[in-house]
Amino acid sequence: MALAKAAGKPPRAVAELLVAGLEHGAAFSTPEIAGPGFLNFRFSEEWLADRLSEMSRDERLLVAPVGSPRRLVIDFSSPNVAKPMHVGHLRSTILGDALSRLFRFLGHEVITDNHLGDWGTQFGMLLYGYKNMRDDEAFRLDPVRELARLYVAVRQQFRADEDDDQASDPVQDACRAEVAKLHAGDPENMELWRSFMPACLEEIDRVYRRLDVRFDHVLGESFYQPMLATVAAGLSSSGIAEESHGAQVVFFGENEPPALVRKRDGAFTYATSDLAAIAWRLEKFNPTDILYVVDSRQALHFKQIFEVARRWGKTSARLTHVAFGSVLGEDRKPIKTRDGKAGATLEQLLDEAVRLAGETFDSHGDEDDASIPGADRAAIAEAVGIGAVKYADLSQNRVSDYVFSWDKMLAMDGNTAAYMQYAYARCRSILRKAGVSTESLSRSVPKVLIGQPAERALAIHLLRLGEALHAAAADFRPHVLTAYLWDLSKAYSAFFQSCPVLKAPDPLSRDSRLVLCDLVSRTIRTVLGLLGIRVVERM
């Protein structure tokens, strides 16, 4: 129909010409013209069967690595390490990790970098709190906990109305002064900063291990700090930045607010350190792309620094802000953690998810097999609980706000991780009982037969894996993958319902259906794996 526009002919007439001129082999029957000019092809059973045999032998499930790999730096998670991680860090971490896995699988080169907030105002609060309110014994026993307490305690001493930016706040001023001293290289504050860091890093690492998230680099703001003066000087000497009201700023269009490179008090801003990071990454990695998996409230910031980078001549990589919506509470209001009363840390949240998954397992789980030891039960609860948290987030279009809901997240019905994991476990159970494995099947793949409609629907869906992966990667949208999984598992359920495998009418269709089960299980495991979610053999 797009052709019709160019050719200036009615779509159906173009379709008829196409059909008449089309040579087709054994892959599909003569296409039918439908509706305003659609062409409907019908794959032949033989062709589908051949593709599935091929897929069965292929470790990559017929998804070829891309011909021209890109090199992507993916900047995600980036928590402020001065306080424990909370739900707000979840989306960036989970989305960024899933995108990293996806691009790697497609054959791209991926460099993950966690741009920690380890040099900002919040450290001023820790320094101030440590100097004025610390509990030495508590700090010795559990430095992370004590630092977290200090953060909240300092925060509570700030004036209530932060909208009133005219009035100066003595505590806030003191915190700023501590940061300024740190940035100026004050020995005492530098030493304290160094002593805080190991505990802060250990704290976030524990969460990353549990989430199964890894970074190639962890280069926080402090890493770029020595480069900032040079960056700022360069921007001024090239005329990109100018002085205004005592600060160094970059101006944009009439209606656009300026970007601050250097504040009136001489301190640099995060725009400066982000620019330093761009320059450094271009030089160090020479990437084709830099992705910033950061929530949409930063949209203006990224628009500005991307524009500055362009003027600055840093144009060798495509810079993309992969934005996502805020995490909202069940009251549909943003979850606030600044006041410290938000309570749940990310770790407590994960504990709760795992606990609830364990409860469900105990009441619904594989009871005819009481031989599953406690350690395995714990591992299952962990995989299902963490998977539920990740999947709930990833299955939603990233641009919309995300309503955090225990009920939705841990529901074991519908489009959830547990449902996929369950479909996987069912496949595996059948294969186990049949005494076959992926290895034995792919050594000599039994002939695949596509007789039943449910088999046909399942076959077609399996063969669309590559399409789903590329669609998800093209727009950085993992929810395309969850949608694919959901459709696949529904097709599998229909197949499972109408096509007995172990009790198949004859050995040939039994073997064929075992191949389908194996392919479904491998596809689910692969795609869940790309989302950072584990499968379990039983649940």
Q: Site residues for RNA, window 374-403 (CB under 7 A)?
A: 380, 384, 395-397, 399-403
Closest separation in Å from C-beta 286 to RNA: 25
Residue 414 touches RNA, criterion: CB under 7 A: yes
Query: Which of helix, strand or coil describes residue 259?
Result: strand
> Using the 8-state DSSP alphabet, how is residue 29 labeled?
P
**Residue 339 near residue 158, CB atoms below 8 Å:** no
Half-sphere exposure of 214 (CA within 13 A, CB side): 5
- Using the rule CB under 7 A, give the single segment among 147-155, 210-218, 416-424, 455-463 that binds RNA: 416-424
Least separation in angstroms between CB 138 and RNA: 26
Stretch that binds RNA, among 113-121, 193-201, 211-219, 343-351 (CB under 7 A): 113-121
How many CB atoms lie under 10 A from the CB of residue 407? 7
| 26 binds RNA, rule: CB under 7 A | no
DSSP per residue, 382-399 = HHHHHHHHHHHHHTS-TT
Ramachandran category for residue 185: left, alpha or beta (phi over 0 → left; psi -120 to 50 → alpha): left
- φ, ψ of residue 127 in degrees (nearest 5): -65, -45
Nearest to 77 by CA among 213, 168, 189: 213
Query: Whose Cβ is closer to RNA: residue 105's or residue 484's?
Result: 484
**Beta partners for 320?**
291
Is 437 near RNA (CB under 7 A)? Answer: no
Backbone φ/ψ region at 329: left (φ over 0), alpha (ψ -120 to 50), beta: beta
**Candidate ranges 106-114, 145-153, 290-298, 436-444; the one touching RNA (CB under 7 A):** 290-298
Q: Does 156 bind RNA (CB under 7 A)?
A: no
C-alpha 399, offset from chain centre:
13
Strands 71-76 and 289-295: parallel
Rule CB under 7 A: is residue 38 a binding residue for RNA? yes
- For residue 257, state whether it binds RNA (rule: CB under 7 A): yes
Q: Which of residues 73-102 bind RNA (CB under 7 A)?
A: 80
Which range touches RNA (CB under 7 A), out of 50-58, 192-200, 229-237, 269-277? Answer: 269-277
**Contact in structure between 387 and 534 (CB atoms under 8 Å):** yes
| Residue number with CB closer to RNA (139 or 495) | 495
- Smallest gap from Cβ 24 to RNA, in A, equals 17
Measured in whole angstroms, the distance separating CA 212 from the mean position of its chain's CA atoms is: 12
> How near is the Cβ of 140 to RNA at its closest, in Å?
29
Residue 5 near RNA by CB under 7 A? yes
DSSP reduced 3-state for 166: coil
User: By CB under 7 A, is residue 35 in contact with RNA?
Assistant: yes
Please pick, from the candidates 209, 318, 433, 447, the single residue that binds RNA as defined by CB under 7 A.
Answer: 433
Size of interface with RNA, in residues (CB under 7 A): 96
- What minimum distance in Å lies between the beta carbon of 457 and RNA? 10
Give the range of 37-45, 69-77, 154-162, 188-196 binding RNA by CB under 7 A.
Answer: 37-45
Nearer CB in complex with RNA: 120/139? 120
Residues in the chain: 539
CA–CA separation, 443 vs 57, rounded Å? 8
Contact positions with RNA (CB under 7 A) in 520-539: 537-539
108 vs 426 by CB, closer to RNA: 426
User: What residue type is assigned to position 349 of the chain?
Assistant: L
Interacting residues with RNA between 468 and 507 (CB under 7 A) = 471, 475, 477, 479-480, 483, 486, 490, 493-494, 496-497, 499-503
Residue 134's CB is within 10 A of a number of other CB atoms, namely 16
Residue among 265, 321, 269, 255 nearest 290 (CA): 321
Query: Which member of 31, 69, 365, 529 binds RNA (CB under 7 A)?
Result: 365
Instruction: Supply the minimum distance, in Å, between the C-beta of residue 2 and RNA.
Output: 6
Q: Which stretch binds RNA (CB under 7 A): 29-37, 100-108, 193-201, 203-211?
A: 29-37
Q: Which CB, 209 or 464, lies closer to RNA?
A: 464
Q: Rounded to whole angstroms, what are the CA distances from 461 to 219, 421, 479, 519? A: 42, 18, 17, 11
Q: Which residues on adjacent β-strands are paired with residue 111?
A: 73
Measured from the CB atom, the residue of 149 and 477 that comes closer to RNA is 477
Nearer to RNA, 56 or 122 (CB): 122
Provide the residue type at 200 as one letter. C
Residues linked to residue 243 through DSSP beta bridges, in sequence order: 248
Considering only 63-71, 114-122, 184-192, 231-239, which stretch makes contact with RNA by CB under 7 A?
114-122
Q: Is 366 in the site for RNA (CB under 7 A)?
A: yes
Residue 334's identity, in one-letter code, is: P
Nearest to 429 by CA among 373, 487, 369: 369
Taking the complex as a whole, how short is the minimal distance between the CB of residue 332 and RNA, in angstroms? Answer: 7
- Distance separating alpha carbons of residues 299 and 320, to the nearest angstrom: 10
Which residue of 48, 63, 94, 430 would you call a contact of RNA, by CB under 7 A?
A: 430
Look at the block and give the residue holding tokens 């706000």: 401
Stretch that binds RNA, among 106-114, 228-236, 285-293, 405-413 (CB under 7 A): 405-413
Alpha helices in 312-368 (DSSP H): 346-364
Residue 11 is a binding residue for RNA (CB under 7 A): yes
Does position 296 interact with RNA (CB under 7 A)? The reply is: yes
Nearer to RNA, 258 or 529 (CB): 258
Residue 207 or 380: the one with the smaller Cβ distance to RNA is 380
Q: In angstroms, rounded to a whole number, what is the distance separating the alpha carbons of residues 233 and 244?
A: 15
For residue 242, give both structure tokens: 């100018």
Q: Are 322 and 290 in contact (CB under 8 A)?
A: no
Count other Cβ atoms within 10 Å, centred on residue 142.
13
Position 63 contacts RNA (CB under 7 A)? no
Q: Which listed residue (49, 127, 418, 458) binds RNA by CB under 7 A?
A: 418
Per rule CB under 7 A, is residue 413 in the interface with RNA? Answer: yes
Does residue 360 interact with RNA by CB under 7 A?
A: yes
Chain residues 208-247 in contact with RNA, contact rule CB under 7 A = 221, 244-247
